[in-house]
Amino acid sequence: MVIELRDVGYTYPDGTVALEDVGLGIDAGERVALLGPNGAGKTTLALHLNGVLRPREGQVWVGGRLVADDTVRETRRMVGLVFQDPDDQLFMPTVHQDVAFGPVNYRLDDVEGRVASALAAVGMQAAVDRAPHHLSFGQRRRVAIATVLSMDPQVLVLDEPSSNLDPASRRELAEVLSGLDVTMLMVTHDLLFARQLCPRSIVLADGKVRYDGPTEQLLTDPGLLAEFRLELPYGVILQPDGG
């Protein structure tokens, strides 16, 4: 098991309870969607996976090691977090420098090879010497993913990866993500994107895990969708046979 949360609880300083007794495990190679209404605790949970936030109760384990002060640096290399806004992740003058930043900071070997491989994985080799702010939003999102892939993570955590993308960019991103050989946790409101990429879904509501099972089963059950305040695009009705 590459990710394990054991009875994790987290309360923000203002007293808001974001997570309560959350327990879940993700095996290597799984692709999991993290779903739920706004305020359910999805992003809070994601930020626990590489130590940005620490649980007030319970434990987070990554790669068989407890996330703690003495392991958080290596945890952040193992769990790559891709933010919803790529401009939060891209801050260097060129794409090359952005993708190389992590490996250089961690003093990893073969930085040039890592940059080339990461950009190839997201189809952005031709942009290596360009300024990120000259790229389209969809291209910047793919470069942001490359900045994480250059660290050779075990887990890729994506926060709303399909948001604000036009249909062509959304399709291109889906093709990129489906081709990556990495464990994936995707925080998303885009149920069809989750269905396309993630066989398993976890639903958070009020900081608790309310569903953990097949994505197809969830999305073809109107009762579950209504219970968890999840909505498919207008006019889309999925049948249990996948229709």
Domain ranges of the chain: 3-85+154-227
243 vs 154: CA distance, rounded Å: 33
CATH annotation of 3-85+154-227: 3.40.50.300
Amino acid 242: pLDDT? 47
Predicted pLDDT of residue 39:
87
Helices (H), the chain: 42-48, 72-78, 95-105, 111-121, 137-149, 167-178, 191-197, 215-219, 222-227
The SS3 call for residue 169 is helix
pLDDT at 243: 47
**Residue 42 neighbours by CB under 8 Å, 6+ apart:** 34, 35, 36, 187, 204
Confidence at residue 237, expressed as pLDDT on a 0 to 100 scale: 79
Backbone phi, psi, residue 61, to 5°? -115, 135
pLDDT along the chain (243 residues), means of 10: 96 94 97 94 94 95 94 94 94 98 96 98 97 96 97 96 94 96 96 97 96 96 94 82 52
Q: How many CB atoms lie within 10 A of CB 16?
A: 12
The whole-angstrom separation of Cα 63 and Cα 55 is 17
Q: Which residues pair with 66 in a beta bridge?
A: 61
The side-by-side arrangement of strands in the sheet containing 200-205 is: 79-82, 155-159, 183-187, 31-35, 200-205, 208-214
| Residue appearing with tokens 């879940």 | 24
